[in-house]
Amino acid sequence: MSFFVEALGRNGLIFLIGTMIFVLSYKYSINIFDWVEHQTYGTRSYITEKLEFLFIEIPQDRLTYMLLGLSVGLGFFTFILVGFIGSWIVGAILGSILAFVGFKAPRVLVDFLVERRIKAYSLQMVDALQLLSNGIRAGLSVPQAIGMIVEEMPAPISQEFNILLQQNKIGMPLEECFENLAKRVPLEDNDMFVSSVNILRETGGNLSETFDTIVDVIRERVRLQQKVDTFTAQGMFQGMTIGAMPYLLGLVYFLQDPASVTPLFTTAIGLVFLFFAVAFDLAGIYVIMKIVKIKI
């Protein structure tokens, strides 16, 4: 009798929890579906858009297989490998972690490549605008001066200005082409340059003198940014060193006395402590990087 009462109570608790989950899922179903779409098709669309900005062409079906391989494939392979060698529980935990990391890593990598391209574009703006100013001073039109940049400057700025010229050749107004350039490369210096060009083309004015002024402002900002990067490099190195110390110490302990470290990976309480240790370590690295990163 007590067994049936206990089973009824347990089933009732499961039914109550299931009902609460169903009600919450139904109430926030739109938000849940939006989140799922953002994490699946949204991630693929985001990466595809950034790859187009980087002038890297990968078909969407191949990109989908790559994302699945890095996430589900890597997690399943880790689960099978660790399960056969050691523990299936540890394999499931490590497989889940690697699947999550593998799914998030491409977006982080693409963002890094985009940021590096934008930084390279920013460093090339001084020479490009100086060339543009000289061309206009020599009597060339704005499209002709931009053509000089496309021919004589390296990527990425030559690629971006080439897109501007191609859009203008198919009939798009030059002002709209410059606005598209500002949208593709979100930089304050680029916004200042585009706004100056569009305003002076409407109201009239000396473009070459304006470009010389913009060049002076950008050159001073780049010099100040390089100076700040030099000062903050030590802080970034210290942050990476502090973040790597727990893993290096763990490796030292493992090499000296493996039996003292093994329970950290083979017991439930050890895995819990390991999870929180890694989470706090990553959070500390993130905070340090935010502190030492200064925007000009």
Note the pLDDT of residue 117: 92
Give the pLDDT confidence of 231-254 residue by residue, as tens digits: 777 777 877 888 888 888 888 888
Per-residue burial over 20-34, b = 16 or more CB atoms within 10 Å of its CB, e = otherwise: eeeeeeeeeeeeeee
Higher pLDDT, 6 or 52: 52
Whether residue 249 contacts residue 203, with contact meaning beta carbons closer than 8 Å, is answered with: no
Whether residue 48 contacts residue 60, with contact meaning beta carbons closer than 8 Å, is answered with: yes
Pair of tokens at residue 240: 């990476």
Q: Where does the pLDDT of residue 4 fall: very low under 50, low under 70, confident under 90, or very high at 90 and above? A: very low
Q: Where does the pLDDT of residue 5 fall: very low under 50, low under 70, confident under 90, or very high at 90 and above? A: very low
Give the pLDDT confidence of 184-225 residue by residue, as tens digits: 898 888 888 888 888 877 777 777 788 888 888 888 887 887
Domain ranges of the chain: 118-215, 216-296
pTM, two decimal places: 0.72
- Percent of the residues in the chain that have a pLDDT greater than 70, as a whole number: 85
